[in-house]
Chains A and B, each alone.
Chain A
């Protein structure tokens, strides 16, 4: 089997055993990227020489006997929203075109330290605002299952790269579903860790109280290995939780769910859901029961109010977070011809540098925070957030995890929802509650919808710092379904 088809765990073992070098593994993936990128367009930045230089350094460290952990030498693609000191970082925006950060994000720094080799920076919706990666200021990314479909978003470059075998692993960020939804529609595993479980330092902020870095991989175990490699307390991020990382790798290796109590979220089913999605989801629920879990229906009535609350909180925070892009210290500068004031240059730069969706959200958020409107909008949304957290708490009194479809539909077509923001926002209907409550949540593949043959994701939600439960259930589903399918779901994907 060629190197690019291997799992990250396998590659890590082979490299550690000296069967293959980090350089060889990196070259195999760089070659694959050269071959399929014209079709998939998952990356915004690739620099073969920088990647190979990193791989050579890792090989040297391994040779010197340094103990780097299970992923040493394994290649990874990073969502272009994490700062990297040897690669530009744009957040998918023209306003940061060509910006080279002088520092690494905590996530990228830790992975660098653990010996992972960076293949490049992946495409995303501008500042992570979107569900299709079509809001990238550079180009759309194509779903490897069907190049006319979106790869989800906002981390669509990272999901497509892993699904297209360009990278065994990638990083993403999940603010309202931006890891789980792309994972679901590209047939891979995506995890949103507990908020505060992974550091936001060096992650270009969209909505600070929601943004969560997390892993993409083709297997639950690979996702767990990556999760463990970059997670844990970071003194540079005040909202980072000072507690041990949940034992996710152990959980992924031990997919026994007998006796677990699993709650089916009543509100996330029925009208508005694609029939093929519901069919695969219902089968997955039956499978969980067959594996020894107790399945009960749980009602979380507040979840239906999550989407509107999210679209007040996230834009409010973004309107403030994006204020720093003002042409004064870095990035794009427009209109500085010596006659214009600083204020005019700021306005011209922001008008030219931000795309329509980013502007829409800045305006929404500016309005929602305005004096006289704050209580009715931002204040009210925060109350809804509290109610949602209470619904989760009540549910977790009855069950260990909650499940739902990850998305109401399979991947939609490129261009299909670009003129209809509300339709676009609905892609995150099931994923948003976990962001508002800060819970852990995962998407694992649970089959292909009959009507379009596209992947369906099962969402598994767990309480704060119980991330390991997602991995345990995810691994159980993966194991059972792969034995039914005779291999991973991705082998059904067309070759590119």
Chain B
């Protein structure tokens, strides 16, 4: 049924659309004073308003409005001079009011764009709108085969998330990406995530759901200009999944169209395990949300002077910063791209800011640490080590107190929670043996224990010195300076090195 990707792209051209939800990192919820701490015990961050007790009313969080305007500005949007919240009405047990306060035909920000780079090309992605709404509670459906509400034995609801401010960013349709469609989708979400991070408005952790993405895909036959029927894939919870979901949906739709079938306009669910999508509700069953202006809230009318101030105070945006850092660090496009893909640029930058040479900072993050993050299956930024600590390790290496091998051990200790680099050096006794007396004593012992090898060296077989140096390194538990040890061994044995 599905068609191989390359074949699908020979026959069809995709049109993409992305809807991204970003949970804002405000201290309190969107319409009440409850805290927003992630992972608090269920139903402990709730009040009459976010539980929708009779009589309770919403009050809009001004910090959330400010964050949304800043996001809009960073995405080159126009900011509404006057707009309203709207109620989106539908019944669901995790939505306390059975309506969501959202925005409908009057979004706070609209008509913007961002540029993303894919395969050396710049693709401009139009932003239709950026609006502000509230999150729902979180349901857990227990029992049943699907993990969804239908068929579950029972469901439990945590309302801590209910009312957390959520920004929805909707792209304009994105035609013309051709074979790069999956990469463009991923690059867009990556860029968006970095913009959010640079603005400091959200921690944008896809795995915690603070950034969530819905992917719209439609296909049209090559040469056609009439767009096909689109599907909306939900539950796309990682950057890699964004790419996979687009690819899978292209393959599925191409298969149906090639056999003369029709695409059903519907919501689909992405499955991480199989990398495929399955059908959700179709358009025929779609809800009528009965939007109307929220009468409990007053319109938002941001003062243009304030908006101008916010615009002037925007931080350097990630794409601009990348260009600057690439020039400062003297890296190739390829190296920079690799760091970008590994999500290492901010970490390297912070490490450099803490005093490390750019090359060293890059070496550690892209080498040893990337390897360890990969092994543990966590994002680089989640490793329990700070840029300042990496900078300290590079400093210790530069001063000769550590060699690369010891430095790796120090990092291992820090990652294992044994303390700061200096504490790990101290506790594990990892300092290079710089005391010649101590080193000479070790050498004497090694020469005594390896009389055969020592004799060979004396006889001129200098290559045999390697085994003696190895012995010294073993005896010193790696803390000896290997080059110096070799020099001293040769001296002792009266051989010219």
Contact = CB atoms under 8 A, between A and B. Distances in A.
B55 A101 contact: yes
Nearest to B90: A323
B292 A323 contact: no
B87 interface: yes
Contacts of B57: 200-201, 236-238
A323 B52 CA distance: 10
B297 A323 contact: no
Given A101-B54, A324-B98, A371 B290 contact: yes
Contacts of A202: 55-56
A342 B155 contact: yes
A328 interface: yes
Contacts of A328: 93, 96, 157
A134 interface: no
Contacts, number: 107
Contacts of B93: 326, 328, 342, 346
Contacts of A346: 91, 93
Given A316-B292, A323-B97, A101 B53 contact: yes
B96 A89 contact: no
Interface residues of A, number: 45
A239 B54 contact: no
Interface string B60-73: 10000000000000
A320 B91 contact: no
B91 A323 contact: yes
A205 B53 CA distance: 11
A202 B56 CA distance: 5
A105 B296 contact: no
A316 B293 CA distance: 11
A165 interface: no
Contacts of A49: none
Nearest to A234: B57
A102 B48 contact: yes
Interface residues of B, number: 32
B74 to A, nearest CB: 27
Given A103-B48, A238-B297, A320 B99 contact: yes
Contacts of A25: none
A93 to B, nearest CB: 10
B149 A201 contact: no
Interface string B260-299: 0000000000000000000000000000111110011110
A209 interface: yes
Given A103-B48, A323-B91, A370 B288 contact: yes
Contacts of A237: 57, 59
A335 B55 CA distance: 26
A205 B52 CA distance: 11
Given A200-B57, A329-B96, A378 B292 contact: yes
A82 interface: yes
A235 interface: yes
A221 interface: no
A98 to B, nearest CB: 13
Contacts of B56: 103, 201-202
Nearest 4 interchain pairs by C-beta: A323-B98, A208-B295, A369-B290, A209-B295
Given A101-B48, A371-B289, 10 more contacts: A89-B55, A200-B57, A238-B59, A239-B297, A323-B91, A324-B54, A324-B98, A325-B54, A329-B52, A374-B290
